[in-house]
C-alpha cells in the first residue's frame, strides 16, 4: 500500500513547502505573544507621541496670477509685460511664481514689514515650558536666520498648473499663521509692481544708449547705399539687353552643335570605308545618299550578274570573264576614290563646326558672367536697402519707446490679485489623532509581524523537513502527530495510562497512517539489505522517544506478525508500565546476568505479533552491561528469531548507552520533538553516532500538532477510496501475505 509523508510547516521560505500566507499565519499563531506584545507597545508609543505633539495651525490665503496683465496701453507699447504671452510658456511661468513666493527675497520683505527679526512669537522664544532670559533671547535673535525661517515656512499649492495659488503658513499660534500668510500675499502683489517699475527704469536708460547707436547706424547705411548705386550699373535696360544676347547665342550654339554632331557622325561612317574594296557592300546613310556611289554600285551589280552567267559557260581564263573582271575592278577603284573625297569633305565640315561651336560657347560664357555680375550687384544693393530700412525702423521704434517709457512707469496695473485673505484657523492641522493612530496601527501590525518573524528566525529548534535535511544532513523519515485520545472520530477510546499504544487502539487514525508512512520509508531505504534491528533514541529527554519506539514496534508487528520491542533504557525504564508489568523483576538485565534462555524473559503483549522484553531491575552499571558479550549474543539471537527488533534507548546527550547500542544494530532512528528539538544538540548527537560508525537511518519528528499550519496529512478523517471506507486491521496469521491493510477487492493502495 502506497504511503505518503505528512507535510509540515516550513521555515525555509520555500514556496514548494509552504505558501507565504500560510507561513505568516503559522508564525503569528506560534509567536502570538511576541506579536501582541510588540503591537501593543508600538500603539502605546504612537499614542503618547501623538498626544504630546504641539498643535499646529494652518492659515491659507488665495491669490490669482494671470499670465497676461490688464492692457492699458496697446500690446506694442508695453515696455515690461508682467505675464507670459505664449501658451507653451505658461507652465514655466506658474512654476516661477511659486518659486518667487518661496524665495528669500520675498521673505525678506515680509520680515522687514512685520519686524519678525525681533518677534518672540515667530522665533518661539515665548514658550512657557522653556523660559529664557532677555540675554538668551537677544543671542537667539542675533544669530537666527529669520529670512530663511520665513522662506521655509511658505507652502504654495496649485492644481493642474492653475493660476489660482493657495499660500499657506503653519504655526503653533493661529493668529501668527494668519498674519504671516496675509503678509506674504501682499508682499508678493506689491513686489510684482515694483519689479515692473524697476524694469521700466532700467529699460529707459538702455533705450537712450540704443537710440544714439541706431542713429549712427542709420547714417552709415544711407551713405553705403549711395556709394554703391554710384559705382554699379544694374539697371533693368542693361539686364534685358544681356539676357537677349544670351538667348540669341544659346540658339546659335544649339544649331552649330547639331551640325557638328551630324558632320562627326558622317565623318566616322565614311572613314570606316575609306580605302576598303568592299565599298559596294556598305550600308552607311552617307553612301546611300550619294548618287555616284549608287550608280557605280548598280553597274557593279549588273556586271556581277553577267559574270555569273558567263561562269556557267566559260572557264575562269576565258577572255570574256577577264574583261568583265577588269570592268568590275575599275568600278571599285572609282568608288573608293570618291568615298575618300567624301570623307575628307566631312572632316573639313566637322572641324569648321567645332571651331564655330567653341567661339559661341566663349561668347555665351561671357554673357552669362555679365548677367551674374548684374544679379550680384542687385543682391548687394537689396541688402544695403534692407539694412537701411531696418535701421530706420529700429530708430523710429526706440524713439517712440523713449517717449512712452515714462507713461508705462507711472501705470500701476498688476496681474496678481488677492482673492481671499487668510482668516484665523479654528482647528489644528497637526497632529491628526485619527490618522496618527491609523498609521500607528499599521506600524504596530508590521512591527508585530517583524518581531514574530525575527523570533521565528532566531529559533534554534528543528521543526521542519527542510531543517532535518538541510541543517542536519540526514534523511527525513516522517512525522508522528500528537495523540488526541479525546477525538471520538479517531476510533475507540484510549486509556490515559496507555497513550503510547495509541496506534494499536486506533489503527485507522491519522497517527497510525503517519506511523505506517515512517515504516514504509524504513523498509524501502535498503531494499537489497532489509533492516532487521533498529535503535530508537533521541538527543535529549522528553522528545517522544518511547512513544515513537512503541508506535514503530506496533506498526512493524502489524507488517510481519513477528516483532520484538526491547527496553534498553537501563536508567529510567517505563515501557513495562505500558504493558501492565511490574518493574524490578526479570527482563533484560536479569537475562544478562543469568544463563537462562531469552524465551524466559520475553513477554507476549496484547498487540498481535509483538513481543516485549522489559528492562528488568535497574543496574548500577548500565554501560558495562551493554558492553558485555552476552548482550551482543542477545542482539544476534533476537535478529534470527524476529523479523523486526526495536530497541528503546536512553537520550544520547545524557549518557553513552545509545552510542554503544548503535554499533550493534542495523540502523538508528533519531526522534526529534517538533517543538523542542535543538539544532546544536542534534548535530552533536549525530556527530557522536557517526564517530562510532552507526548507520543513521534518519529523523522522525514526534508530537506534531495535527491542526498546525501546513500540516496537511494525506489521509484525512473519513477518507474513502473506490466507494469503500478505508479499513485497517492487524495481520492475524503470519503465514498470510504481509499486507497490513485489507481493502475491498479492486481497491488501490
Per-residue pLDDT tens over the stretch 203-248: 777 777 787 888 788 888 888 877 877 777 777 777 888 888 888 8
Mean pLDDT of 93-113: 87
pLDDT digits (tens, 9 = 90+) for 621-647: 888 888 889 999 999 999 999 999 999
Name which of 196-200, 212-216, 407-411, 681-685 the model is least confident about. 407-411
pLDDT of residue 614: 92
What are residue 117's phi and psi, to 5 degrees? -65, -20
pLDDT digits (tens, 9 = 90+) for 440-491: 889 889 998 898 888 777 777 777 787 788 778 889 998 888 887 777 777 7
pLDDT digits (tens, 9 = 90+) for 114-149: 888 888 778 777 766 677 788 877 887 888 888 888
Best mean pLDDT range from 187-201, 585-599, 703-717, 724-738: 585-599
pLDDT of residue 70: 54
pLDDT digits (tens, 9 = 90+) for 237-279: 778 888 888 888 888 888 888 888 877 777 776 766 665 666 6
pLDDT of residue 5: 39
pLDDT of residue 736: 38
d(CA 164, CA 107): 20
Contact 505, 494 (CB under 8 A): yes
pLDDT of residue 719: 36
pLDDT classification of 73: cutoffs 50, 70, 90:
low
- Of how many residues is the chain composed? 749
Compute CA 122 distance to the chain's CA centroid, rounded to the nearest angstrom: 48
What pTM does this model have? 0.46
Q: Which three cell numbers stand for residue 551?
A: 508506535
Name which of 244-253, 289-298, 435-444, 679-688 the model is least confident about. 289-298
pLDDT digits (tens, 9 = 90+) for 638-671: 999 999 999 999 888 778 889 989 989 999 999 9
- Is 431 in a helix, a strand, or coil? coil
pLDDT of residue 533: 92
- What mean pLDDT value characterizes the chain? 78
pLDDT classification of 710: cutoffs 50, 70, 90:
very low
Provide Rg for the chain, Cα atoms. 60
Outline where 153-235 has alpha helix (H).
Answer: 174-231
What are residue 667's phi and psi, to 5 degrees? -165, 160
Compute CA 302 distance to the chain's CA centroid, rounded to the nearest angstrom: 101
pLDDT classification of 746: cutoffs 50, 70, 90:
very low
C-alpha to C-alpha distances, 366 to 246, 256, 363, 379, 649, nearest whole angstrom: 9, 18, 5, 20, 127
What are residue 611's phi and psi, to 5 degrees? -105, 160
Contact residues for 75 (Cβ-Cβ < 8 A; gap 6+): none
Contact residues for 595 (Cβ-Cβ < 8 A; gap 6+): none
User: Domain spans of the chain?
Assistant: 20-50+431-458, 51-205+414-420, 236-409, 465-725
Q: Which residue has the cell 486506533?
A: 506
Long-range contacts of 274-279 (CB under 8 A, 24+ apart): 274/336, 274/339, 274/340, 274/343, 275/336, 275/340, 276/336, 277/332, 277/336, 279/332, 279/335, 279/336, 279/339
Name which of 52-61, 172-181, 280-289, 519-528 the model is least confident about. 280-289
pLDDT digits (tens, 9 = 90+) for 300-321: 777 777 778 777 877 878 787 7
Q: Which residues pair with 673 in a beta bridge?
A: 702
* CATH, range 465-725: 3.40.50.300
Best mean pLDDT range from 377-391, 586-600, 697-711, 712-726: 586-600
pLDDT digits (tens, 9 = 90+) for 557-576: 998 889 999 999 888 888 88
Name which of 195-209, 397-411, 468-482, 496-510 the model is least confident about. 397-411
Mean pLDDT of 702-731: 45
pLDDT of residue 720: 35
pLDDT classification of 88: cutoffs 50, 70, 90:
low
Other Cβ atoms within 10 Å of 597 Cβ, number: 10
Long-range contacts of 219-225 (CB under 8 A, 24+ apart): 221/384, 221/387, 221/388, 221/391, 222/388, 224/384, 224/387, 225/381, 225/384, 225/385, 225/388
109, 111, 114, 117 alpha-carbon torsion, rounded to 10° = -150
pLDDT digits (tens, 9 = 90+) for 147-160: 888 888 899 888 66
pLDDT of residue 284: 59
Query: What is the H or E stretch that residue 718 is in?
Result: none
pLDDT of residue 280: 64
User: DSSP state, 56?
Assistant: B
Query: What is the H or E stretch that residue 477 is in?
Result: strand 476-481
Q: Which three cell numbers stand for residue 312?
A: 556557267
Contact residues for 144 (Cβ-Cβ < 8 A; gap 6+): 117, 123
Q: Which residues pair with 667 in a beta bridge?
A: 534
Per the model's pLDDT, the better-predicted residue between 662 and 162 turns out to be 662
C-alpha to C-alpha distances, 39 to 27, 48, 744, nearest whole angstrom: 15, 14, 56
pLDDT of residue 609: 92
Contact 551, 646 (CB under 8 A): no
Helices 545-560 and 510-523: angle between axes, nearest 10 degrees: 70
pLDDT of residue 743: 31
Amino acid at each position: 500500500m502506497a504511503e505518503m509523508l505528512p507535510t509540515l510547516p516550513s521555515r525555509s521560505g520555500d514556496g514548494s513547502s509552504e505558501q507565504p500566507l500560510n507561513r505568516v499565519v503559522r508564525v503569528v499563531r506560534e509567536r502570538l505573544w511576541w506579536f501582541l506584545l510588540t503591537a501593543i507597545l508600538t500603539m502605546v508609543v504612537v499614542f503618547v507621541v501623538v498626544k504630546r505633539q504641539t498643535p499646529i495651525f494652518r492659515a491659507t490665503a488665495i491669490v490669482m496670477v494671470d499670465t497676461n496683465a490688464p492692457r492699458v496701453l496697446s500690446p506694442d507699447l508695453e515696455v515690461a509685460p508682467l505675464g507670459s504671452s505664449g501658451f507653451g510658456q505658461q507652465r514655466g511661468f506658474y512654476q516661477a511664481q511659486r518659486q518667487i513666493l518661496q524665495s528669500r527675497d520675498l521673505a525678506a520683505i515680509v520680515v522687514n514689514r512685520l519686524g519678525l527679526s525681533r518677534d518672540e512669537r515667530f522665533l518661539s522664544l515665548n514658550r512657557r515650558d522653556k523660559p529664557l532670559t532677555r540675554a538668551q533671547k537677544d543671542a537667539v535673535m542675533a544669530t537666527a536666520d529669520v529670512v530663511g525661517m520665513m522662506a521655509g515656512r511658505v507652502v504654495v499649492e496649485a492644481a493642474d498648473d492653475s493660476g489660482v495659488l493657495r499660500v499657506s503658513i503653519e504655526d503653533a499660534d493661529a493668529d501668527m499663521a494668519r498674519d504671516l500668510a496675509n503678509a506674504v500675499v501682499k508682499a508678493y502683489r506689491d513686489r510684482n509692481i515694483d519689479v515692473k517699475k524697476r524694469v521700466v527704469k532700467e529699460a529707459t536708460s538702455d533705450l537712450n544708449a540704443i537710440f544714439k547707436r541706431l542713429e549712427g547706424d542709420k547714417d552709415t547705411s544711407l551713405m553705403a547705399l549711395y556709394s554703391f548705386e554710384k559705382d554699379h550699373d544694374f539697371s533693368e535696360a542693361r539686364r534685358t539687353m544681356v539676357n537677349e544676347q544670351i538667348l540669341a547665342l544659346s540658339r546659335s550654339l544649339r544649331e552649330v552643335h547639331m551640325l557638328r554632331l551630324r558632320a562627326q557622325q558622317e565623318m566616322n561612317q565614311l572613314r570606316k570605308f575609306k580605302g576598303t574594296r568592299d565599298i559596294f557592300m556598305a550600308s552607311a546613310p552617307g553612301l546611300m545618299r550619294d548618287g555616284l556611289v549608287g550608280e557605280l554600285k548598280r553597274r557593279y551589280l549588273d556586271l556581277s550578274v553577267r559574270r555569273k552567267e558567263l561562269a556557267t559557260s566559260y572557264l575562269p581564263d576565258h577572255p570574256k570573264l577577264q574583261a568583265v573582271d577588269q570592268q568590275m575592278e575599275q568600278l571599285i577603284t572609282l568608288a573608293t576614290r570618291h568615298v575618300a573625297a567624301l570623307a575628307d569633305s566631312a572632316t573639313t565640315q566637322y572641324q569648321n563646326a567645332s571651331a564655330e561651336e567653341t567661339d559661341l560657347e566663349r561668347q555665351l560664357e561671357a554673357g552669362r558672367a555679365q548677367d551674374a555680375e548684374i544679379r550680384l550687384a542687385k543682391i548687394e544693393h537689396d541688402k544695403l536697402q534692407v539694412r537701411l530700412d531696418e535701421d530706420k525702423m529700429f530708430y523710429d521704434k526706440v524713439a517712440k519707446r523713449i517717449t512712452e517709457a515714462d507713461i508705462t512707469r507711472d501705470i500701476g496695473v498688476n496681474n496678481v490679485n488677492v482673492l481671499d485673505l487668510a482668516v484665523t484657523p479654528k482647528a489644528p492641522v497637526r497632529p491628526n489623532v485619527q490618522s496618527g493612530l491609523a498609521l500607528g496601527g499599521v506600524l504596530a501590525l508590521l512591527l508585530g509581524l517583524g518581531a514574530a518573524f525575527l523570533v521565528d528566525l532566531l529559533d534554534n529548534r528543528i521543526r521542519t523537513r527542510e531543517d532535518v535535511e538541510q541543517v542536519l544532513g540526514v534523511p527525513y523519515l516522517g512525522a508522528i502527530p500528537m495523540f488526541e485520545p479525546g477525538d471520538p472520530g479517531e476510533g475507540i477510546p484510549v486509556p490515559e495510562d496507555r497513550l503510547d499504544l495509541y496506534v494499536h487502539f486506533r489503527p485507522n487514525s491519522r497517527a497510525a497512517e503517519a506511523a505506517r508512512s515512517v515504516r514504509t520509508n524504513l523498509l524501502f531505504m535498503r531494499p537489497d539489505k532489509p533492516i532487521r534491528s533498529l535503535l530508537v533514541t533521541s538527543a535529549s529527554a522528553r522528545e517522544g522517544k518511547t512513544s515513537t519506539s512503541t508506535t514503530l514496534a506496533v506498526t512493524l508487528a502489524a507488517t510481519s506478525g513477528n516483532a520484538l520491542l526491547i527496553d534498553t533504557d537501563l536508567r529510567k525504564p517505563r515501557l513495562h508500565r505500558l504493558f501492565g508489568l511490574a518493574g524490578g523483576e526479570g527482563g533484560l538485565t536479569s537475562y544478562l546476568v543469568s544463563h537462562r534462555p531469552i524465551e524466559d524473559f520475553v513477554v507476549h503483549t496484547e498487540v498481535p505479533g509483538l513481543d516485549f522484553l522489559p528492562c528488568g531491575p535497574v543496574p548500577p552499571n548500565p554501560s558495562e552491561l551493554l558492553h558485555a558479550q552476552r548482550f551482543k549474543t542477545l542482539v544476534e539471537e533476537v535478529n534470527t528469531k524476529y523479523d523486526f527488533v526495536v530497541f528503546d534507548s536512553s537520550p544520547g546527550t545524557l549518557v553513552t548507552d545509545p552510542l554503544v547500542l548503535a554499533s550493534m544494530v542495523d540502523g538508528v532512528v533519531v526522534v526529534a520533538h517538533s517543538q523542542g528539538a535543538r539544532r546544536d544538540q542534534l548535530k552533536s548527537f549525530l556527530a557522536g553516532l557517526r564517530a562510532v560508525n552507526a548507520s543513521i537511518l534518519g529523523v522522525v519528528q514526534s508530537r506534531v500538532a495535527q491542526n498546525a499550519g501546513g500540516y496537511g496529512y494525506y489521509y484525512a478523517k473519513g477518507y474513502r477510496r473506490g466507494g469503500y471506507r478505508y479499513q485497517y486491521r492487524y495481520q492475524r496469521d503470519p503465514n498470510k501475505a504481509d499486507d497490513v491493510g485489507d481493502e475491498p477487492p479492486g481497491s488501490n493502495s
